Structure 1
């Protein structure tokens, strides 16, 4: 999947750029000649990614939960480019603590980075987006924003919220010339997923073999080429999840059935990668 020459020179801001999905997105945008602003908490990861790109990106490392950093990002983009063509809200965190084990600090921080940060950054960037001829906002959501995840309740809560906000803003901004949409991948084979597999994360991630970050990045490019409110990298997963949510009062039984299949898939996932001996908690 490649972007056409009409995207060359456009300015794209990507959060969570040093993660597995972010790296793949950045590489594809770089190949298409976009000017990149890459943001992540992981400064070393950003530097490693920049070394792999053809063009020199603008790197901004820091805690995206700090509003002052978001305002600094906006000011920096304005000074350097004068506009923003594409905002890609991709940064997120997921933990495997059950709700009764969560610290209050983690509740606040997880909701902030997964939900509040993309909303704040989108709002802050609106004036710069309006300076672009074809502005876009694309949020990386998750099927965890459609189907509850008992093992990751704060992740699911934040993604449910982000999905609702994305759809609401998309309808409003469509009238204002800004195309808004969300990507809803199921499980993606990243370092975070391996951590979840080892520490008792959601078995729902392993109902089917996880997709690659490259697969999700391709769907992001499709969203740029053919904007929609939502895109699902694995359509079969999306159909299954949406069918399940037609029966909300049966969701406990449905999830229990899914989890039995997922537990077998997780065991297979760990065995294939030689990680079984490293399991911390199931």
Structure 2
């Protein structure tokens, strides 16, 4: 039975991916800091192990990676998916909050990728998939540190892909824009960047299917839409363009955020 490690497994994308990989017959290593939600998910799925780990706690992370590296079983897939965001401007932010985003979104992701690469090179096969974000291409005013972690993770993912070329170990990055998850709902209620709401949010199942596509086709980068890909690459080539077009897209995003809030209210969420 093939094994997969999923971090951020109790959240929207991680939960959807866990269910899809379980349906395909995978044995699951599920990692999240939300213990009750993680254990509840594991009770629903066969061949599931729950690891309650705060990825910002370096000792807990180290223990997880030691167990991963020492486990004799073969690991087919590592889905590095955990992430957190803040909606404050940099000058208004608590330094501890900035550090927390760096720890979870970037440092822990790099350390997990290292452990996965080491194990999979020994196996001579495997696939590392990082859930990154469209914020790795389009910086989000109001979420500057989040954007920085995602820019960094994209650079790391692409470099690791080059390092492992020809080894039998594949690396892919997933770049969703708005996804209907607990994180996006929190941002909608707490002043998240309006750029997150320019497009209609995708479902977590849609992104999980994109992850399965990455596993099949083994390309380096996958975007939730073609327009996200082209817009991100354009702004990446002309960074100053964002300042000029931001007011227009911010207005679009504000309207999109209002629609999304109304949708949540109709669903009974406040």
Specify if TM > 0.5: yes
> Which of 178, 182, 201 is 2:192 aligned to?
201
Instruction: Write out per-residue CA displacement over residues 44-91 of structure 1, whole angstroms, 9 at most, x where no aligned residue.
Output: 0111111221x1311110211233323322333355443322111100
- CA RMSD in angstroms, aligned pairs only: 1.8
Alignment partner, residue 5 of structure 1: none
- The alpha carbon displacement at 1:133 in A equals 4.6
1:189 is paired with a residue of what secondary structure?
coil
Give the secondary structure class of the aligned counterpart of 1:174: coil
Per-residue CA deviation, residues 191-239 of structure 1 (Å, 9 max, x unaligned), is 1111111111010111121000000000000000110110112222222
1:34 aligns with 2:21: no
Aligned with residue 103 of structure 1, among 67, 88, 94: 94
Question: Following superposition, which runs of at least 4 residues in structure 1 exceed 6 angstroms of deviation?
Answer: none
In structure 2, distance between residues paired with 1:97 and 1:145: 18
Q: TM-score, normalised by structure 2?
A: 0.94
**Structure 2: distance between partners of 1:78 and 1:114:** 21
> Is the Cα contact below 8 Å between 1:83 and 1:131 reproduced in 2?
no
Q: Determine if the alignment matches structure 1 residue 273 to structure 2 residue 261.
A: no
Q: Does the 8 A contact of 1:141 with 1:183 survive in 2?
A: yes
Q: Which residue of 2 aligns with 1:192?
A: 183
More moved, 131-140 vs 114-123:
131-140
What 5-or-longer segments of structure 2 have no aligned partner?
none
Three-state SS of the structure 1 residue aligned to 2:122 is coil
CA distance in 1, matches of 2:262, 2:208: 27
Structure 2 distance, partners of 1:207, 1:234, is 13
> 1:25 touches 1:217 (CA, 8 Å); kept in 2?
yes
